[in-house]
Structure formats: C-alpha cells, structure tokens
Amino acid sequence: MKLKTLLSLAAAAVLAVSLSGMAQAPTGKIHGHVTDPTGVPKGGGTVGLSTDGGHTYKFTFPVSAGGDYTGDGVTPGTYSAVLRLPETPEGKFVDMIDNVKVVAGQDTAQDIDMSRQAYLDKMSPEQKKQVEEFRKKNTEVMKTNQVIKNLNADLQEARTDNKDKKYAEAETLMLKDTALKPDGELLWYELGVAQLGLKKWDDATTTLKKTIDLAAAAKKPNPELIAGSHSALGEVYARSNKPEDAATEYDTAAKLNPAKAGFYLGNEAIVFQNVGNGDAQAAAADKAIAADPKNPTPYYLKGQGLAGKITVDAKGNYVAPPGCIEAYEKYLELAPTGPYATEVKAVLDATKTKVDNKYKATKK
C-alpha cells in the first residue's frame, strides 16, 4: 500500500514537471498593418495564421478600426497570414501572405498590403479602374488638404502679426492667401485688419465689405465674424472722418452679436476719443452704458467727451454741459480707485461740484 502511494506521488511529480515544461515553451509575437487596394487603412475583420492554405487557423487576431493587428503566444513556425473581413463568406478569404515565419522570442512584422502589385494583378479590369479613380481623387483631396493646412498656418501667423502691429507682414501674407482661396472669409478679415492698421482706408473698406458678404453667404454664417467685420469697418470710417457711417457699422455689430454689444460700443467710444471727436465719443459711450450699465469705463468716456464743452461763466466758474458731471460721478461710484479716478476728481474739484451719485443711465 505504501509502495503504491509512493509510485502515485512519483507519477504526479513527473506529470507536473511535464506540464510545467509545456507551459514555458518559447513562443513568438506578430503584428502588422492592413491596407486596402487604394492604400487606405482597412479596419475590422481578422488576421488568421494558417498552415493549410486558409482552411483552418492555428491563431486568429482581430484587426482594429485603424487597420492594425497584434498577436502573441504564437507557436514558432511558418504560416500563411490570412485576412478575412466580417462580410467574407465561410471558407473564403480576402488576402493571404505566405511564408510568414514566427520565431521564438521575436516579434514578427507582417503587413497585409492589398495595394501591392501581386494583389492588383488578380483584380478584374473594372476593379482596377475603380482603384485608379479613387487614387486620383484621393491625391487631389490630399493636395487640397495640404493647401488648407498651409492656409491655416498662415492665418495664425497673420493674427499674431496683427496683434503685434506687424501690419505690413500680415497684409503681404493675406494678399497671397486670398488669391489662393478667394472664398476664405477669415483670410479676408485678417487682411482688412492689417489694412486698417496700415491706414489704408479705401483698401480696408473694400476688404471688410467683402468679408461681410462672404461670411453672410456661407453655409453656416458666423455671427461673431460678421459682427466683428462691421465693428472693424466702423473703425475705418471713424478714423477716415465718417462718423455717421461709423456709428451705423458699430450699431450693426451690436445688433448682430448682442452678447458683445458693450464691447463693440465701448470700442466705438475709444476710437472717437482717439480721433478727437468728443460729441461722437459721448454718444457712443451713452450706447455702451445702456448695453452694460455696470462697466465704469463708458461713464468716464462720456464725461471726457463732454468735458471739452466746459465753459467759464461771468463769475469765473467752470460750467460743465449736461450729463458730464453725472457721468464722472457714476464713474467714481463704480471705480473709486480706477485708472481715471485722479483725473475725474480733478475735473469735479475744478467745477466745485459735490459728488452725490445722482446719475441715471440714458434710455435707448
């Protein structure tokens, strides 16, 4: 009884050693990329490793959506790599690569490239024609995509140049690109901004109007781009001494993009301040106040715009026009330590006015 037990234990030990040896047998790996006859990655399906011409498979690995497959734990040997797609009938395959050698401890690279000549030679004349037509169209698409990529890079560069006030560089770049892509409204916009910076009023006017027309005719019109173009056109008119046209353009921008109305109208007041048109500055500031009553800057701009009309009465006192003192008072209420506080207080002291915060915003 004891002898039988010892024999059983010995047999079990031999079996365990045998199984352990089998589990540790060296294996190899395989990976590759699948492309269709046009050279485009082919996703889906499986790549199987067969030793009988594709009738059966020793190993099968899925192909990713991007056309890649990987597999490990492959017994070393020579196989055929067989591609099957989800719609491939039973017993059939799409492509086969023979003499694929998997070596223990190594990762074999084996692509399945159906654009290779050997595969194309097996196709029917009609199939070959379809492949050639697709390749031709794909080449054209790739060229177009490259052009668009270059244009986008130029657009970013022009934006940076305009921001850095390198207007001549931006204009040169955008003149080239609008000639390449005449329907590129973003290109025309940056060109208009550059011409505005260069004080080329007529050119900027023509360019920005073209931007508006192109943007409005687009399949998906961009309200912010259209509004921004009207705002830029308003600045052109303001700086070229056309205040009424400027006001119209800024008002249009505010209506098209109400969320930025305060921004556009505030810029209008600043531009008129820059060109020394106090009346237009005050009027624009009034509109900016109505759009954003909590922003202190338009109150300062209104007060400053009206301050040019301060007079001296018979007693030698300074007399401010209606709305000037009230606007300055409101500015101090909203920004008592703001960047213009010192200037505002000096004006109020000069007019001997007591600050009592009685300002009421002008209604639209």
Q: Is the pLDDT of residue 355 over 60?
A: no
Name which of 276, 290, 192 is nearest 236 in CA terms: 192
Instruction: State residue 10's pLDDT score.
Output: 47
CATH topology of domain 25-115: Immunoglobulin-like (2.60.40)
Q: Is the pLDDT of residue 17 over 60?
A: no
Mean pLDDT of 277-287: 97
Mean pLDDT of 107-135: 90
Q: Is the pLDDT of residue 364 over 70?
A: no
Mean pLDDT of 224-228: 97
What pLDDT, in 10s, does the model give residues 166-198? 999 999 999 999 998 999 999 999 999 999 999
* Banded pLDDT at 353 (limits 50, 70, 90): low
Report H helices in the chain: 2-23, 117-120, 125-163, 167-180, 185-197, 201-217, 223-239, 243-256, 261-274, 278-291, 296-307, 324-334, 341-350
Mean pLDDT of 226-249: 97
Mean pLDDT of 314-323: 88
State both tokens at 105: 């401890």
Alpha-carbon torsion angle 318, 324, 327, 329, nearest 10: 10
Contact between residue 25 and residue 3 where contact means Cβ atoms under 8 Å apart: no
Give the residue extent of every domain in the chain.
25-115
Q: Which of 164-178, 250-264, 350-364 has the lowest mean pLDDT?
A: 350-364
Q: Looking up tokens 């002008």, which residue turns up?
A: 362
Q: Is the pLDDT of residue 149 over 80?
A: yes
Alpha-carbon torsion angle 186, 188, 191, 196, nearest 10: -100
Contact between residue 69 and residue 63 where contact means Cβ atoms under 8 Å apart: yes
Name which of 110, 63, 115 is nearest 84 in CA terms: 63
